[in-house]
Homo-oligomer: A and B are copies of this chain.
Amino acid sequence: MLPAMIIGAGFSGLAAAHALNKAGKKFIVLEARNRVGGRVFTQPVQDTYYLDLGGQWIGPGQHRMYELAREHNLQWFETYNTGKNIIDLNGRIRTYSGLIPKIDPLSLVNIQWVLTRLESMAKRLPPDKPWTTPRAFTYDGISLDYFLRKKCFTRNAYQVLRPGLETVYACNLNELSLLHALFYIQSGNNLNTLLSIENGAQQHRIIGGMQQLAERMAAPFRECIHFNHAVTNIVQDDTGVTVSGNNFSYRASRIIIAIPPVLIRNIHFEPSLPLLRQQLLQKLFMGRVGKVFGIYRTPFWRKYGFSGQVVTDEQQPFQVFFDSSPADGSYGVLLAFCIAVRAQQFFSLSQTERKNMALQHFSRYFGEEALHPEYYTDHCWADEAWSGGCYAAVYPTGTWTSFQDELMKPFGNIHWAGTETSKAWYGYIEGAVRAGERAAAELLSHS
């Protein structure tokens, strides 16, 4: 009896493996990197510190993540969310409390109205089938940016909404279909959840870093994971699947492919993937995000009453900032998100230039102490060969309506996982886990 096989040991592949393992199914996992976790990666720094370079938050509605954390004896803590937030608009820095920045009342009303509109449009999408909504063709013919420009009557409203939404989608807002934007909102419950810390998708972090969950999930079947095994060829025949790469070849009864869509393109399939799937894979692209970190001896901004949160307009190099210090606050971590066009500019600089620019901007908000971190680093996910970008694949206009859920359809003995194949929490670690479990259930139903 041939084993099953999983390609990719990110959260989706691990969740699939976890499920197969529980069901007593024999399997192996092939992973291109030398580690588990995929788009999640916790980097230890100088023996004392750690940084979550990739996915780091969980929040309400992400039931499987909390259950997995519990199951693996991991604890979570509240993202620091106390004190004054900062908004940097038109070169002017203002502080505010809560979710509502201190800008003109007309813009505030406008922002609330736009968010409500997006929310209610998302809510009306037929669950799981965004392409069947009566206005699907119109929504799929414009970008989120166009919608925003039409609905923002003040420049300030647009300038506040834009960095927030760029941070949700990890791309320029004119790159993604409004229909995809709405699907994504529905998939993550609602827009408020996606934008918020409190009661939102950024509410909790895992003590010690998200990577630990991947490691602990992998522990029971670690000997079944083959690292540094980048798959280049997948051949299906009547009795199973042959999966091969540089200097290796394995046979399996059925396989689960749990890697980002853009990397599936690089694999040679026999027989070829269905034509529609090939065409869809041509169109999906990965979000582009960099995370920029300063580690400080203490979270010194807290003592001045700052939350560490900043939102900035496009004159600045980073969209938003968070306090990403560890649970006990024993040291401080400032985290800035650098997304899409800003990432293109920032990551075209040298490491030294980037460090200087980042620290200048950190000190712009938090004073001179910010100029002297214990450690500085930045990480551009678009540059990771085995991710191709982060957080997830994005649907450009005309894609949902043309290809529907082509990405999820099994092909012979191949099942598909990855957060992009989940209709709940698309783009989040939770979506990855759910997709992996769904793919495992599909596979087991054939055993």
Give the B-binding residues of A (Cβ under 8 A).
137-138, 140-143, 145-146, 149, 171-177, 262, 265-266, 272, 275-276, 278-279, 282-286, 288, 340-341, 344, 347-348, 380, 382-383, 385, 388-389, 396-399, 401-402
Give the complex CA separation of A33 and B255 in angstroms: 31
Interface hub of A276, A286, A341, A396 (most chain B Cβ within 10 A): A396
Which residue of chain B has its CB nearest to the CB of A406?
A: B344
Which residue of B171, B176, B265, B275 contacts A383 across the interface (Cβ within 8 Å)?
B275
Give the complex CA separation of A265 and B266 in angstroms.
7
Please tell me if the beta carbons of B288 and A285 are within 8 angstroms of each other in the complex.
no
Query: What are the 8 A-B residue pairs with the smallest beta carbon separation, nearest first?
Result: A175-B398, A174-B398, A396-B396, A141-B146, A141-B174, A282-B285, A141-B143, A141-B145
Interchain CA distance A285-B265 in the complex, whole Å: 12
How far, in whole Å, are A286 and B282 apart by their CA atoms in the complex?
8
What CA separation (Å) do A173 and B275 show in the bound complex?
20
Having A140-B174, A174-B401, A275-B344, one finds 13 other A-B pairs with CB under 8 Å, namely: A137-B174, A138-B146, A138-B149, A141-B174, A172-B398, A173-B398, A272-B385, A275-B382, A278-B382, A279-B286, A282-B286, A282-B389, A340-B402
Chain B residues with CB below 8 A from A176, complex form? 398
User: Are B279 and A399 neighbours in the complex by a CB distance under 8 Å?
Assistant: no
Question: Which B residues lie within 8 Å of A397 (CB)?
Answer: 142-143, 174-175, 177, 396-397
Docked pose: A173 CA to B402 CA in angstroms = 11
Q: Choose among B265, B283, B344, B385 the residue that contacts A265 (Cβ–Cβ < 8 A).
A: B265
User: A268 — nearest CB in chain B belongs to which residue?
Assistant: B266
What are 11 A-B residue pairs whose CB atoms fall within 8 Å in the complex? A137-B174, A138-B149, A141-B145, A145-B398, A172-B402, A175-B396, A175-B402, A275-B380, A275-B383, A282-B284, A341-B402
Distance between Cα atoms of A407 and B286 in the complex (Å): 18
Q: How far is the CB of A101 from chain B (nearest CB, A)?
A: 23
Chain B residue, CB-CB nearest to A285: B282
Bound CA–CA A388/B172 (angstroms): 26
Q: A143-B398, A146-B142 are in contact. Are A279 and B389 (CB under 8 A)?
A: yes
Kindly state the separation between the CA atoms of A174 and B401 in the bound complex, as whole angstroms: 9
- Write the nearest CB–CB distance from A173 to chain B, whole angstroms: 8
* Interfacial chain B residues near A175, Cβ < 8 Å: 283, 396-399, 402
Output the residue of A142, A266, A402 with the most chain B CB within 10 A.
Answer: A142
Contact B142 A143 (CB under 8 A): yes
Minimum CB–CB distance for A61 against chain B, Å: 29
Closest B residue, CB atoms, query A261: B282
Contacts of A171 in B (CB 8 A): 398
Closest beta carbon of chain B to A6's beta carbon, Å: 24
Contacts of A341 in B (CB 8 A): 402
The docked-state distance in angstroms from the alpha carbon of A389 to that of B282 is: 10
Smallest CB gap from A136: residue in B: B174
Tell me if B149 and A145 are in contact (CB < 8 A): no
Instruction: Looking at the assembled complex, report how far the CB atom of A345 sits from the nearest CB atom of chain B, in whole angstroms.
Output: 10
Q: Which of A176, A288, A340, A398 has the most CB of B within 10 A?
A: A398
A133 to chain B, nearest CB (A): 14
